[in-house]
Structures are given as structure tokens and as C-alpha cells.
């Protein structure tokens, strides 16, 4: 009994320290917590955890020099940098990457980057990985997860130390819409079975893109979404939300904050699991009723973010198509669509203009 109790307590303690969980998050409806058939008060449990803090080693911090933040002189006045629910919107000039890198290095995080290379989309993998090696999470540990039905077509690419490329074999589907919608299910299942034991954060993006500027830990948060480049300045009426009340993706015309892109989202493994599980279950319910949301997985993602607000939002710097031109507010183009022959890549879902 003694050993079992300590194993259970160790698992809880590990979860709290690794993922930043609080006891009230884990057990919001209960005043007491059960351990091995005994009721211990929250105060007793908290005291036990607090005593274990004494065993932690103090982190030695290096001295850092940087300009003082100016309370009355914000770095960006031309764009919205924070939402009404106090989630930051990440633009160039709104953060100091050196400070952020120091914080994340202390935690020793590993980041997973997922892409789907189904059928002819395998042709994009080489450019995607090579540009990621130049610009994505430099100096941090990264797992590249490539979902594919053609493992033999994925090139062998050498990646930097501390990084690895993992090929995940998945089924093929006839329609691109099916691939688009099934990826929520696949990310959910692999998050539960594998990712939870391998990485701390997951970044889920489209493969027919390339990195063209630095993308670092400034994007990481519990759960983040990305502004769609076609709708960042539009009103609710212009958003292509699912408007049929019969659909699980339905959003009324007087609701919604932003229009989020389906090709760039992420967060902690737990939060990504919750997001993808919601989207997949909603899709399956619609399918039973012979419905398919207007923009497939993107529609369900937007529904989720209406009622489960992201804790961080990435600006259009992080997802851009040069066909839109270059507006004045766009100081950096970090992740852009790859020019492609749409006849060769049939049934392509491009970034909508």
C-alpha cells in the first residue's frame, strides 16, 4: 500500500510540475482528493507537495541586458496586441525572444511539429523540413512528425542535433476533404498514444508551406490559433463560419472574435487533445446527420475557439500567402504558402483570398 500510494502521488506531482497544472484544475468540483482509499484534505495534499519543493535545485540564471519596457510607449500602436480575454496577439516588436528563450531553456521543453503529406503532398516535405531547420525553434529540441500514406516517398533529410524526423504511417483517403477532416482524429489519437510521452508542445501546420523567417517559442502557449490572412481585417458578417444551425460547427452571425486558419494551431498536448477530440466528435455527429461543414476541419476549429478561447493568437506574420501582397502592418513573413501548380496538385485547398 505504501509503494502504491507513493507512485500515485509521484504521478500527480510530476503532472503538476511538468504541465503547470494546479490542484483546483485537476479536481475543480471536489474539496477532498482520494489517495489509495483514504480521504485527505486539500490542505494536507498541498502541504505534502510544498515540502517536496524543498528538494528542488535552484536554477542559476545568467545576467541579461535588454531595453526597459516602456509602460506609456507600447511597441505597436497600429495593430491589436491583446484580446478582450487578455490573450496576447503575437506581432513583430511585441516580445523579446532572448527573454523567452531563456525561460523555455530552463524548462527543457521539446516541441513537436506535425504535417500531413498524403498522396502528392509528399513533394512538399523536403522544402518544409529544410526551411524549418533554418527558422523553426532554433536552439530547441524538435520532433518533426510526418503523417503519410507514402513513406517510401519521404526523402531522407539530415536534421540538427537534438531534432528528429518521425514518419507516421496513416491510411489514404480518396477525397482531400476526408484527409482534411480525418487529421483531427489522427492528431488526437497520436497525442494520447505517443506525443504525451515525447513532447511538451505540439504545433500543427500545413505541409505545402515554407518557413521564411524565424518562428520561435514566442508562439507557444496552452492553446493557440492563428489569424487567417484572408479575414484579419474583416467583420463577423464576412467570416466564412458554418451558418447552418443543424451543424455542430454552427456559429451565429452575432458571435465570434476572429477567423482562425485551419492550417496553424497548437498548444500543450493536453489542450491539443481536447481541441482535436472536440472537432473529431463534432464531425462524426454531423456525418451521422449527413452534414459536412462548409470549410471542413477549419469550421470546427473556429467553433471550438469561440467557446474555448485561445490563450495566445498568432498574427498574419505566421501564416501568409504572397498573393495577398504585403500590407504595411506585415513587418515579417515567417511562414508562407509555396507557389505551386494547382493542376498537378489536384483538389487543393488553398488559402482563400
What are the binding residues?
116-118, 121, 206-208, 228, 240, 298, 321
CB atoms under 10 Å from CB of 239, counted, come to 19
Question: What would the DSSP string read from start to end of 116-166?
Answer: EE-GGGGGGHHHHHHHHHHHBSTTSEEEEEEEES-GGGS------TTEEEE
271/33 Cα distance (integer angstroms): 23
Catalytic residue among 133, 218, 271, 298: 298
Q: Which residues are annotated as a binding site for Mn(2+)?
A: 206, 208
298 is catalytic: yes
Q: What is the DSSP letter of 105?
A: H
91/236 Cα distance (integer angstroms): 22
275/219 Cα distance (integer angstroms): 17
**Bridge pairing between strands 141-148 and 163-169:** parallel
CB atoms under 10 Å from CB of 156, counted, come to 6
120/118 Cα distance (integer angstroms): 6
Q: Which residues pair with 116 in a beta bridge?
A: 147
Q: Which residues are annotated as a binding site for UDP-N-acetyl-alpha-D-galactosamine?
A: 116-118, 121, 206-208
Residues tagged active-site: 298
Amino acid at each position: 500500500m505504501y509503494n502504491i500510494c507513493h507512485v500515485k502521488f509521484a504521478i500527480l506531482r510530476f503532472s503538476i510540475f511538468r504541465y503547470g497544472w494546479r490542484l483546483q484544475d485537476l479536481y475543480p468540483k471536489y474539496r477532498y482528493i482520494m489517495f489509495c482509499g483514504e480521504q485527505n484534505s486539500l490542505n494536507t495534499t498541498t502541504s505534502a507537495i510544498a515540502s517536496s519543493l524543498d528538494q528542488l535545485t535552484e536554477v542559476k540564471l545568467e545576467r541579461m541586458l535588454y531595453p526597459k519596457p516602456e509602460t506609456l510607449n507600447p511597441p505597436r500602436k497600429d495593430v491589436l496586441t491583446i484580446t478582450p480575454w487578455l490573450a496576447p496577439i503575437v506581432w513583430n516588436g511585441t516580445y523579446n525572444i532572448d527573454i523567452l528563450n531563456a525561460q523555455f531553456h530552463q524548462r527543457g521543453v521539446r516541441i513537436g511539429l506535425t504535417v500531413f503529406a498524403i498522396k502528392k503532398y509528399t513533394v512538399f516535405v523536403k522544402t518544409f523540413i529544410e526551411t524549418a531547420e533554418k527558422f523553426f525553434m532554433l536552439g530547441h529540441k524538435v520532433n518533426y512528425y510526418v503523417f503519410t500514406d507514402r513513406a517510401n516517398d519521404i526523402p531522407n533529410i539530415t536534421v540538427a542535433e537534438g531534432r528528429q524526423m518521425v514518419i507516421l504511417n496513416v491510411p489514404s483517403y480518396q477525397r482531400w476533404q476526408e484527409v482534411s477532416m480525418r487529421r483531427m482524429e489522427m492528431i488526437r489519437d497520436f497525442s494520447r498514444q505517443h506525443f504525451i510521452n515525447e513532447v511538451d508542445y505540439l504545433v500543427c501546420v500545413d505541409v505545402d508551406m515554407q518557413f521564411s523567417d524565424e518562428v520561435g517559442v514566442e508562439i507557444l502557449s496552452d492553446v493557440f490559433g492563428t489569424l487567417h490572412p484572408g479575414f484579419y481585417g474583416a467583420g463577423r458578417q464576412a467570416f466564412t463560419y458554418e451558418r447552418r444551425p443543424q451543424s455542430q460547427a454552427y456559429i451565429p452571425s452575432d458571435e465570434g472574435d476572429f477567423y482562425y486558419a485551419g492550417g496553424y494551431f497548437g498548444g500543450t498536448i493536453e489542450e491539443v487533445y481536447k481541441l482535436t477530440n472536440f472537432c473529431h466528435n463534432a464531425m462524426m455527429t454531423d456525418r451521422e446527420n449527413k452534414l459536412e461543414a462548409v470549410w471542413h476541419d477549419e469550421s470546427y476549429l473556429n467553433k471550438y475557439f469561440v467557446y474555448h478561447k485561445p490563450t495566445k493568437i498568432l498574427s498574419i506574420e505566421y501564416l501568409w500567402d504572397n498573393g495577398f501582397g504585403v500590407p504595411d502592418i506585415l513587418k515579417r513573413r515567417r511562414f508562407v504558402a509555396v507557389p505551386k501548380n494547382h493542376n498537378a496538385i489536384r483538389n487543393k485547398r488553398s488559402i482563400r483570398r
